[in-house]
Amino acid sequence: MSADQHATWVERDRARVWHGFTQMASYADNRPVMVERAEGRELIDVEGRRYLDAISSLWVITLGHRVPELDAAMRAQLARVAHSTLLGNGSTVVVELAEALAGVVPVEDARFLFASDGAAAVEQALKIAFQYWWNQGISNRTSYLALGDAYHGDTIGGLSVGAGGFGTDLFDPLRFRGVVRAPGYRSASWLDAALDALAANAGTLAAAVIEPLVQGAAGMHVASAEDVRRFGRACQDAGVLLICDEVATGFGRTGTLFASEQCQLRPDLLCLGKGLSGGYLPMSATAASGRVADAFLGDDLGPATLYHGHSFGGNALAAAVALRHLELIDDWDVLGNVAARATQLQVGLAALARHPAVAAVRACGLMAGVQLDAAVGGPRSGRRVCAAAVDEGVLLRPLGDVVVLMPILTSTAAEIDRILDVLQVALEAVSR
């Protein structure tokens, strides 16, 4: 296809598609990549140009695009059923997925409530935590402890426990009250402050919600596993439910299947999304411990029931892909590759940290952020560095002045080197 056709697609797109977190008045000016297809770890645009997907399509893709085994799992399920509701009825492939997940999630006797987006998984966890106490006749545990810089999605509940920013402050009047806020991981004293906040409010908290190890959307701020462990254990010791939001960190990103494992935590509620289906299909889930789920048992149609559920929760196609995905993570030793590539990435980032346009680098597993020095890079430097990388065929997307690196978990050593080399070139281009 020609460049003219690219422009035509962008114009059709701009006219009818409203893109998330995107100012549509300048959408076309920012030279969007117009994806037509993909192969392995590359996206291919309407002109046939290839881009290494170094953000895993917004952190969702784990094994790659068009993985033959995942495609086959989806086709096989298509021959059975694409979707049927889980409201009051069952679906065999979802049962199989839930059984397989129960064997790997760090949750005691886990039960799974499926949804489609990460934000919905968080929303469900918040509501389950609230009703868990209500079902036991405890009416004063109605608030939540959350951290500064937290991001838990864009629904009103997710925004409420989230710390704001990203232009969402205008929604403040919609955020629910009753959120106790401690500092986020970027503060050296976050743990002490969070423990103090916990002690001061323990009797009225329904739950505490954290992103274990890495606050991703905050710009990849990393906490020590020991600090997260101490906080999580203190919550549970104080009788406060612990919600671990692993929407971003789950399914191998940080080097273990779940970040909670490195923190030696077994949360009461675990939020999963993004990589659950290998990034193929919108699927998320809230895993509740058996103790939490059992508190909802009662009379048919009675008040103990969780009156919550989404139309597409437990989609059969997504479940079939998610089930095969879990097997492939093992069969391909994906965690072994993450360990090797993470070490390589961190060595490369340490060298990049000496670049004058770089203020700091942060990484955990295959999640990394390169904080730019605005004084050197100038305004909108994150956007300009990423645009320069896209020109070189590596798809990056910034979070403000942090360039996010989220390589696909099966990336090769050569691909990690390419991402680092292109970032170096892009930094040069912007600092000139």
Ligand X SMILES: Cc1ncc(COP(=O)(O)O)c(C=O)c1O
If the CB atoms of residues 183 and 216 are measured against ligand X, the closer one turns out to be 216
237 to 25, 127, 229, 402: CA distances (angstroms): 51, 21, 12, 36
Quick one: which of 45, 117, 261, 268 contacts ligand X (CB under 6 A)? 117
- Give me the least distance between CB of 122 and ligand X, in Å please: 5
Q: Which stretch binds ligand X (CB under 6 A): 91-99, 245-253, 326-334, 381-389?
A: 245-253
Q: Is 287 in the site for ligand X (CB under 6 A)?
A: no
Number of residues that bind ligand X (CB under 6 A): 14
β-bridge partners, 368? 363, 405
If the CB atoms of residues 278 and 348 are measured against ligand X, the closer one turns out to be 278
Quick one: which of 147, 198, 206, 248 contacts ligand X (CB under 6 A)? 248
If the CB atoms of residues 42 and 117 are measured against ligand X, the closer one turns out to be 117
HSE on the CB side for 293, CA within 13 Å? 14
- Give me the least distance between CB of 155 and ligand X, in Å please: 8
- Give me the least distance between CB of 104 and ligand X, in Å please: 19
Q: Is 123 in the site for ligand X (CB under 6 A)?
A: no
**Rounded Cα gap, residues 411 and 343, in angstroms:** 13
Q: Is 211 in the site for ligand X (CB under 6 A)?
A: yes
Closest by Cα among 235, 239, 243, 255 to 286: 243
Contacts of 411 (CB under 8 A, 6+ apart): 41, 337, 341, 366
**Rounded Cα gap, residues 40 and 53, in angstroms:** 9
Contacts of 421 (CB under 8 A, 6+ apart): none
Question: Taking CB under 6 A as the criterion, which residues in 339-378 touch ligand X?
Answer: none
Contacts 24+ apart (CB under 8 A), 36-40: 38/65, 38/66, 39/65, 39/66, 40/64, 40/65, 40/66
Report yes or no: 210 and 176 within 8 Å, Cβ to Cβ.
no
Q: Is 273 in the site for ligand X (CB under 6 A)?
A: yes
**Rounded Cα gap, residues 169 and 149, in angstroms:** 13
Cα angle at 291 between 286 and 295, to 5 degrees? 90
Quick one: which of 64, 157, 184, 216 contacts ligand X (CB under 6 A)? 216
- Could you give the string, one character per residue 132-161, with x where binding to ligand X holds by CB under 6 A and - elsewhere? -------------------xxx--------
Quick one: which of 245, 261, 268, 415 contacts ligand X (CB under 6 A)? 245
Q: Which stretch binds ligand X (CB under 6 A): 48-56, 111-119, 235-243, 365-373?
A: 111-119
Q: Is 253 in the site for ligand X (CB under 6 A)?
A: no
Binding site for ligand X (CB under 6 A): 117-119, 122, 151-153, 211, 216-217, 245, 247-248, 273
